[in-house]
Amino acid sequence: MRRFKKILVANRGEIAVRVMRACRELGLPSVAVFSEADRTALHVRVADEAVAIGPAPSRESYLRVDRVLEAAAETGADAIHPGYGFLAENAAFARACEDAGIAFIGPTSESIEQMGEKTSARRLAVEAGVPVVPGTLEPVAGAAIAREAARIGFPLMLKAAAGGGGKGLRLVAGPGELAAAVERAQGEALSAFGDDRVYLERAIVKARHIEVQVLGDHHGAAVHLFERECSIQRRHQKVVEESPSPFLTPELRAHMGALAVALVKRIGYRNAGTLEFLVGEDREPYFLEMNTRIQVEHPVTEMVTGHDLVQLQIRIAQGEPLPFAQEDLEQRGHAIECRIYAEDPDRGFLPSPGRLLALRAPGGPGLREDSGVYEGFEVPVHYDSMLSKLIAHGATREAAIQRMRRALAEYKILGVRTTLPFVDRVMRHPDFVAGDFDTSFVARLAAEPDRADEELWRIGVAAAAIRLLEDRRAAQHAPQPAEAAGSAWTRAGWRSQLGNRL
């Protein structure tokens, strides 16, 4: 077992700040790396030290393995936490850290290779007895794509083999859409991952997207920390997450947790990871993929279990055993997370960069805000547009929803457009409140009229009608101008002018 001296955080934004806070609570100094665009970013201010690593484009800064390692050597950091995104699931980066004698706070490079490649992960899941969505276990190309599509049947999902984050992912409803979908998916995958290989899966209709948080240590122990419901998605990107899932029964929850642990133990996985499943209307779970890193939505698990996942990541990387067994873990209450983006919901969620002229975060019991910005910060155009994550915890799901509504009403951001109105609309939708939704929820919501806007319109019309009636009553009792008294023509003109003003 070793004790780290200093941890470099190879990321930016809210996750970098989150990791640095965990380091501080463990008494460990932290190092920030930053691009030219992030010179005044919050994670740079929070860290104990900061090192510039290149220009604004991520490929010239945050994705430069050599510059990140040079920053670690320069500052004497003996461990690197990758956060999520950027280099977090890059096996070559993990291997470079291992070769340099720097601890990578995550799984081994071998585990990242095994589980990061989606078709490899599916094969390992089958070997561990974990059911997978029917499809191909290897990438397919050329004429084989059409043959396999006919065998699997439509609708189907076309996926990038090296994919993640919704990139290189297409729903194909029928044979006529296949060729165009392949071209788009391969082009997007090549641009995002440098790898245009794709594979096919049957599309599960009315599916729930449910993931299981796992931890494994260096001593052979592994546990799951229950599930997160992630079905509220926009273009395959999660926007609202919660735990527990309102869809799972206690029996299904235990079954899915056991499946996740079986796969983790099968591959000797260490550190934090997440297994993603699709669950159909028949409540049959199918393994999708594994994320070999901390997840954006990890706070909801922390809120319901009471365990700090980032601190556990660091402790596991130091060689410490897991501090609990499966039977020691339980879910307490209910937690919901809303992701807040600098995007305009009224314009197709277009990014809305700019200066935050005013920022007031909500507070009070049961709330947590994980943020990477501050008032006066210039939101850059170069990176993901997420500003913060808002998490509400309550004794029940209903209490958590009510707390989230209150928090969203308190949250004020001026200077950029945000998704605050959109997630508030989700929190008030009767289907969400009832727990009756699936991965198509956001698409259906976009097609519905905004009930809040309709109500405001009705209130506005009613108010205008009342004002008009009051003005007309006042006009009937108002004295007429003296010059109008002697002429019917001038009296008519006066009434006409008064009517125009009404």
Q: What residues are labeled active site?
A: 293
Closest to 58 (Cα-Cα) out of 83, 39, 35: 35
Distances (CA, A) of 58 to 55, 67, 269, 286: 8, 12, 29, 34
| Number of DSSP helices (H) and strands (E) in the chain, helices first | 17, 22
Using DSSP, state whether 275 is helix, strand or coil. Answer: strand
Total residues belonging to the chain: 502
**Encoded tokens for 330:** 């339980």
Would you say the C-alpha torsion 66, 36, 382, 83 has a positive or negative sign? Answer: positive
Would you say the C-alpha torsion 211, 213, 218, 220 has a positive or negative sign? Answer: negative
Alpha carbon distance 114, 91 (integer Å): 9
Q: Position 369: which residue type?
A: E
Ordered strands of the 79-81 beta sheet: 49-54, 30-35, 7-9, 79-81, 103-104
Pairing of strands 7-9, 30-35: parallel
Indicate the DSSP class of residue 375. T
Place of tokens 């609309």: 425
Are 84 and 294 in contact by the 8 Å Cβ rule? The answer is: yes
Whether the upstream peptide bond of residue 55 has omega within 30° of 0, thus cis, is no
Closest to 390 (Cα-Cα) out of 382, 401, 377: 401
Closest to 426 (Cα-Cα) out of 403, 450, 407: 450
**Encoded tokens for 458:** 């009705």
Are 218 and 317 in contact by the 8 Å Cβ rule? The answer is: no
